[in-house]
Amino acid sequence: MDRYLQTHLRHNFIVNVCDGGFWGFAIGFASFVTVIPLFVSHFTDSALLIGLIPAIHAAGWQLPQLLLADRVARAERYRPMVLWLTLLERVPFVGFALIALGAMMITREVALALTFGLLIIQGLGSGLTATPWQSMIAKVIPPEQRGTFFGTQAAAANLLASVSAVIAGIILAEFDLPINFALVFALASAIMIVSFGFLAWTRESPAPPLPTERTRRDFRGGLVAILRRDVNFRWFLVVRALFHLATMAFAFYTIYAVRYHAVSVVIAGILTSVYMGSQIVASPVMGWIGDHWGHRVVLQFGALAAVGSAALAVWAQSAEWFYIVFTLAGISNVAAWTITMTMTIDFARDPAERPAYVGLANTLVAPFAILAPLVGGWLADATGYASAFIASAIGGVLAWLVLRALVRDPRAIKAGTT
């Protein structure tokens, strides 16, 4: 197994970084934050419905991950399951293109219902794919290189997404409805095929599955046993939940800067580029640091970056402060997603337990991913944006304190250095 892993490590590293990079390239054309909300705005004026779009995507990614954990643990190879399930998260983009083309022939209500139906399928597809995919990556990338891998993959995705986002903006401006949206969704679909091709190129050796006589009840009992036994993991779940609170303010920075600091649309676009650019730089750097000095240290830095970002947003005296605000937000977002995903994999004592840990770490935290933006929006509406920013800063402080006092790096525990 080790010989096979080392023989194909370079190949698997490259093809999976390319898979993630082209996935990001595709998503830039069909962003859940910009393009799809803009598309939906042609069918409804409801801010609530438009605001649900990124929430559906986030919840879809996290909620279902525990559902397939038992089946994943029984698999000799993860790649076949990944390739079948990932179709559920890729094919809906073809559906978006068809809705755009047929928008003139169907009612707004039908178009809206079809769009949200596809969004739900896409979100659930990503969540169902996540557990076998993370298990596959953990199998083909050794522990001492996973942070570097996830960081490099995230950097490639963000870099190509920033390029395609610019191209998408040009297409949406230069072409008339509905051709413009049909074209960007079609491009996203085509690039998804390229991404799928690289994913399918992963080389994975078979591994002994779990005993087939184990029942689902045994598996559920094993989940409870993990939560009872692994106190360190329980505190890590608390940290993941707190990170959702710490980063909830990020969604409101742009509108706050526009309304209260007279930031122009052009500057808002530049701030978005700063946010993405900071993630492009921070992802591989933070991943590499985590591989060499521990991901817990990197998470602490990410929590403090969230505190600094939110605090500066509250006390900003001019629009220029927001360049730092968005830079720190990008760094914190890398910690909240890329580093936590890397660290989650390290908690499993045995590879057979890895799907259970991955599922627990995401499904149990999913409610906080849904509730945090709602709490932030309620605070912003009820008492002003500063309240939401202060709440985020408090979340970051609490995350740092729990990491500092109660969480130990699982790799260091295995190595006997802590």
Domain boundary pick from 169, 202, 235: 202
Q: Do 184 and 240 have their domain in common?
A: no
Number of domains comprising the chain: 2
Domain boundary pick from 157, 174, 202: 202
Q: Do 353 and 377 have their domain in common?
A: yes
Can you give the pTM of this predicted structure? 0.80
Domain boundary pick from 179, 202, 225: 202
Q: Are 196 and 86 in contact (CB under 8 A)?
A: yes
What pLDDT sits at residue 32?
83
- Which helix (H) or strand (E) segment holds residue 297: the answer is helix 295-315
What pLDDT sits at residue 277?
86
pLDDT digits (tens, 9 = 90+) for 323-351: 999 999 999 999 998 899 889 989 988 77
Instruction: Kindly report the average pLDDT of the chain as a whole number.
Output: 88
Q: Do 190 and 246 have their domain in common?
A: no
pLDDT digits (tens, 9 = 90+) for 205-236: 887 655 555 556 677 788 889 999 999 999 99
What pLDDT sits at residue 132?
92
| Triad 70, 72, 74: Cα angle to 5° | 75
pLDDT digits (tens, 9 = 90+) for 109-119: 999 999 999 99
Q: Do 303 and 400 have their domain in common?
A: yes
Q: Do 167 and 191 have their domain in common?
A: yes
Q: Do 257 and 142 have their domain in common?
A: no
Q: Do 217 and 188 have their domain in common?
A: no
> Where are the extended beta strands (E) located within 340-384?
none
Give the CA dihedral 184, 194, 152, 254, nearest 10 degrees.
Answer: 10
What pLDDT sits at residue 257?
86
Can you tell me the distance from the alpha carbon of 158 to that of 108, in angstroms, rounded to the nearest whole number? 33
What pLDDT sits at residue 298?
96
Q: Do 130 and 231 have their domain in common?
A: no
Sign of CA dihedral 25, 192, 22, 138: positive
Can you tell me the distance from the alpha carbon of 381 to that of 399, in angstroms, rounded to the nearest whole number? 25
Residues of the chain with confidence (pLDDT) below 50: none
State which residues form the domain around 34: 1-202
Q: Do 26 and 172 have their domain in common?
A: yes
Type of residue at 26: A
Distances in Å between the alpha carbon of 381 and those of 252, 254, 317, 376? 11, 16, 22, 9
Q: Do 161 and 240 have their domain in common?
A: no
Q: Do 218 and 276 have their domain in common?
A: yes
* Domain CATH for 241: 1.20.1250.20
Q: Do 231 and 189 have their domain in common?
A: no
With b for 16 or more beta-carbon neighbours within 10 A and e for fewer, the 13-40 pattern comes to bebbbbbbbbbbbbbbbbbbebbbbebb
